[in-house]
Amino acid sequence: ICITGSTSASLHQILPWLYYHKVIGVSHFILFVEGEAAKPAVTSVLESIRGVKIIYRTKELKEQQDRSRIWNETWLSGFFYKPCNYELFVKQSLNMEMAIVMAREAGMDWIIHLDTDELIHPAGAREYSLRRLLLDVPDNVDMVIFPNYESSVERDDIKDPFTEVSMFKKNYDHLPKDTYFGLYKEATRGNPNYFLTYGNGKSAARVQEHMRPNGAHRWHNYMKSPKYDVRYLHLWSFSFLLVFSSQVQVNSGEMFLLNYLAICYLFSCSEIKLEEAAILHYTYTKFSDLTSRRDRCGCKPTKEDVKRCFILEFDRLAFIIASTATEQEMRNWYREHVVWTDKDTNLKLLRKGVLTRIYAPMAIIRGLKESGIFIDAVTSAKAHPKANIGLENNESIHTNVTAAQSTTLKEGGNDNSQATARKILEMIDVQEEAVPPMSPPGFLELMESALS
């Protein structure tokens, strides 16, 4: 299992995140670093840890990514040349594209894109293990979707979210609809949506040929149509039986349709959504998250301008508050919109299942901390200094990625059946937009669903 991510976090955040995922079965990490995460004091420690590959955001990396095939395709084009969150989304996608090639070269079976404020919670497996969870996934499944739960902090002075936060708001996908919509107002607490930030989870994908990212939350395969409608499979199966039992005569147009549907079936990308496992998203867990997000974006704090910069409404509101309010006003706003201070409401939502307590990650990370493994990693790196990855190594990585991407473009060039399949799949996959961070469903979606 390989986790890839793009981070500018501190060592204080990255180490617990990394070792926690090692405990639950992740063997390889491909981290694209910049900012704080790219400082020698951080990277020297990370590079000393087995299974960790650090990629620096160098001029060479940017030039390499500027030549990516992604820029000539349409699925991500709606996010190009926009600031802040949109720019990050494109950067994550380009990094994921490179990570796929590195994961294949490293012999990985699964790849997951994860931020360093997210922990995988492998509930539902026979043991608390991501490795066990993915081993139990049927062989015909290419992508596994983890619904995300969102942290619900109970204080405004959190310093170490992974060891201080145990309460989470459940995802819509893990709640009965009547519970979700019946308690929607109380769970939302005057905010724009049920979750502060995204609600469409993250995914793990089998590492295979023709893969590409589909934004930071999903994966895609150039040679497979994602989750093709089962109705077409039924239609094809029925037609297939009729034709080969010689009960009907078919003309060339009908035969083309049968072949078309057959290829849709053969080249479909199967996915499942997990019913218990989740991504725990520790979002806005610290008061300082308000100002840190503000400091990373140069947009004007107006309702019009923030739409250019942020995909989700709560991020827009938080940016405006952090840019215009005094510190005391910010803290009051943070307590009102983020901190769960009403114990009666908390207890009600816990009893109804909207909120839940999850202690396993907290216990694991506390245990790792008490074992001294984080301190050992730092002192070991200081005792055995290792040169950071230089441009030579970066260039060799880039060369390998370029070669692999070029091969992907050429694969199937001499094989008529592959070429035919690609042409038909191009008819199916009209390059739908990348899956962005999306809010959970609200009342508007409920009304549209009822009317449809």
Quote helix, strand, coil % in the chain, to nearest 5: 50, 15, 35
CA distances from 384 to 49, 87, 377, 449 (A): 12, 37, 11, 60
Query: Is the dihedral angle over the CA atoms 130, 133, 136, 138 positive or is it negative?
Result: negative
Q: Which of 278, 74, 65, 80 minimizes the C-alpha distance to 169?
A: 278
Q: Are 50 and 389 in contact (CB under 8 A)?
A: no
DSSP single-letter state for residue 387:
P
Q: Which of 202, 356, 226 minimizes the C-alpha distance to 274?
A: 202
**Of 25-39, 327-341, 380-394, 416-430, which range is least confident?**
416-430
Q: How much of the chain, in percent, has pLDDT values that exceed 90?
A: 74
- Work out the mean pLDDT of the chain and round it to a whole number: 85
- What pLDDT, on a 0 to 100 scale, did the predictor assign at position 296? 86
- What pLDDT, on a 0 to 100 scale, did the predictor assign at position 108? 98
Please give the structure tokens belonging to residue 133: 């969870």
Q: 25 pLDDT band (50/70/90 cuts)?
A: very high
Q: 268 pLDDT band (50/70/90 cuts)?
A: low
Exposed e or buried b per residue across 76-91, where buried means at least 16 C-beta atoms within 10 angstroms of its C-beta: beebeeeebbbebbbb
Quickly tell me which residue has 């739960």 as its tokens: 149
- Our separate counts of H helices and E strands in the chain read 20, 16
Q: Are 9 and 37 in contact (CB under 8 A)?
A: yes
Please give the structure tokens belonging to residue 319: 């940016």
Please give the structure tokens belonging to residue 228: 């093709």
- Residues 285 and 340: their CA atoms lie apart, in Å, by 11
Q: 101 pLDDT band (50/70/90 cuts)?
A: very high
Rounded mean pLDDT, 309-323:
96
Pairing type for strands 110-113 and 2-7 reads parallel
List phi, psi (to 5°) of 239: -65, -40
Is the model's pLDDT at 399 over the cut of 70?
A: no
- What pLDDT, on a 0 to 100 scale, did the predictor assign at position 52? 98
Residues 162, 213, 85, 59: what is their CA dihedral angle, to the nearest 10 degrees?
100
Separation of first and last alpha carbons in the chain: 40
Residue ranges covered by each domain of the chain: 2-224+269-383
- Residues 402 and 399: their CA atoms lie apart, in Å, by 5
- What pLDDT, on a 0 to 100 scale, did the predictor assign at position 351? 98
- Residues 136 and 131: their CA atoms lie apart, in Å, by 9
Is residue 412 exposed (0-12), middle (13-18) or buried (19+ Cβ within 10 Å)? Answer: middle
Q: Are 291 and 322 in contact (CB under 8 A)?
A: yes
Please give the structure tokens belonging to residue 136: 């139990």
- Residues 276 and 234: their CA atoms lie apart, in Å, by 29
Rounded mean pLDDT, 238-244:
41
